[in-house]
Amino acid sequence: MSEGEQGAAIGQPLTLDLAPRLGPRLAARLQGLGEQAIADLSYANLWLFRRVHDYRFIDGGWPAISGLTYDGQRHLLPLFAPHTAPTGVLQTLMADHAAMFPLTEVEARALDPAHWAIEAHRDDADYLYPADHFRHYRGTALQKKRNLMKQCRAAHVLEVVPYDSADARHQQAALAVLEGWSADKGKAPGDADDLPCREALSLAPFLGLAGHIAWADGEPAGFVLGELLQPGVAVIRFAKGLTRFKGISQLLFHHFASDPPFPVHWMNFEQDLGLENFRRTKQSYQPSALLPKFRASLRSS
């Protein structure tokens, strides 16, 4: 039986009804971390990507979520500070799991290294940027981004407004962008993050997502949606732009930072999954840090 097949028997599927109960538990794990908060620990994120990660809720006195990492490892995501649980509780929860993941650096350091093997994979790390990078694109390292935004403004009549999922024009335009982006990338319907993105566009306010949508010369051109992780810290969950509108992504990031839906000092662009094109693009925006996410595996007794 594969790890994925094993997971089918664990817990219950994630539903939106669980959000009020589980969301605060995830938020408690990030409280006080500021810009060091990792992107994964929000209920909106877990629910949106519940299919690809086979996320399932394990209820009880020490509740947790079971899932699969992108590299196929069955993992336990605790809904409590891991170091506060008795050893026997963690051993029981870990019976069907290879590792606890993702853990923040603070959480990983709090575990007893005599009982836990701790590791971090480069592919899991989040990219962190000062919001000022996108407000101004200052300096030679970001000059190309600045020029792309200027070219976009010079080449097109642009309309960029806060995204409103209750506005039919906004939803229709965003879906047109998503379909066009998929075609640009050679993706079939349902590939990549197509379905999570559709759900996010439909349920943005409920999920705590907000951002901007853009038209160029009257045509849908791009959108960006983010979520507040900590005060002043936003994670970019979805960003789509059509390739024929060169510079639209740089423009949308600029608007998200300059006219934010909530106060933003830092922007988290999540992980690159080890994909070279993701890594190259995210590095090109000059991250100030890569935030590690740790996996903790029980040592053999």
Is residue 203 classed as helix, strand or coil in its secondary structure? helix
Mark out the alpha helices in the chain (DSSP H runs): 3-7, 19-30, 43-48, 50-53, 87-93, 105-110, 132-136, 143-155, 168-185, 194-207, 248-258, 276-284
pTM of the predicted protein model: 0.94
In order of 188, 203, 216, 265, 284, the CA distances from 171 in angstroms are: 20, 11, 16, 28, 30
Cα–Cα dist 268/107, whole Å: 20
Q: Is 218 left (phi over 0), alpha (psi -120 to 50) or beta?
A: left
Question: Domains in the chain and their CATH numbers?
Answer: 3-121+293-298 (3.40.630.30), 126-270 (3.40.630.30)
In order of 205, 214, 255, the CA distances from 176 in angstroms are: 20, 12, 20
Each residue's pLDDT, cut to its tens digit, for the chain (301 residues) gives 344 444 446 899 999 999 999 999 999 999 999 999 999 999 999 999 999 999 999 999 999 999 999 999 999 999 999 999 999 999 999 999 999 999 999 999 999 999 999 999 999 999 999 999 999 999 999 999 999 999 999 999 999 999 999 999 999 999 999 999 999 999 887 777 999 999 999 999 999 999 999 999 999 999 999 999 999 999 999 999 999 999 999 999 999 999 999 999 999 999 999 899 999 999 999 999 999 999 999 998 6
Cα–Cα dist 86/90, whole Å: 7
